[in-house]
Amino acid sequence: MESRSSSQGSPADLQGRIRQRAEEIYLRNGQVPGRDAENWAQAEREIRNEGNAHPRSAILVKVNGVQYVGEYRPELSQGYTPGEFGPGMTIPVRFAGDKMFVTRPNGMELETTIVRTIG
């Protein structure tokens, strides 16, 4: 089991979010032509600041030879801290759609969103 931080998602996701925000800024500011670069820079700052304001972390769990990367928001993890699970430790895990619920040593579940499967 391991944990890592990830605040922005994939580069394509990030670019899409910046593009959408730049369009919102363009509309909000009265559709002034010729300010594309300025709108893009403002959108990029806003999106990157949002990512820093709500950092996400991930946990890697291996089940039946498949590794699942589950992302969670630390402020919503009910006190989970990386390191609660040791490497190779057997732990109960359940799945529901794109969610993975990992039972912590204290009996509480860590709810994650599956962002990647490996294997």
- Please report the pLDDT score of residue 89 as a whole number: 85
Task: Indicate the length of the chain as a whole number.
Answer: 119
Mean pLDDT of the 7-33 span: 81
Residue 99 has pLDDT above 90, yes or no: yes
Model confidence band, residue 96 (pLDDT cutoffs 50, 70, 90): very high
DSSP H stretches of helix in the chain: 11-28, 36-53
Cα distance between the two ends of the chain: 16
Residue 7 has pLDDT above 60, yes or no: no
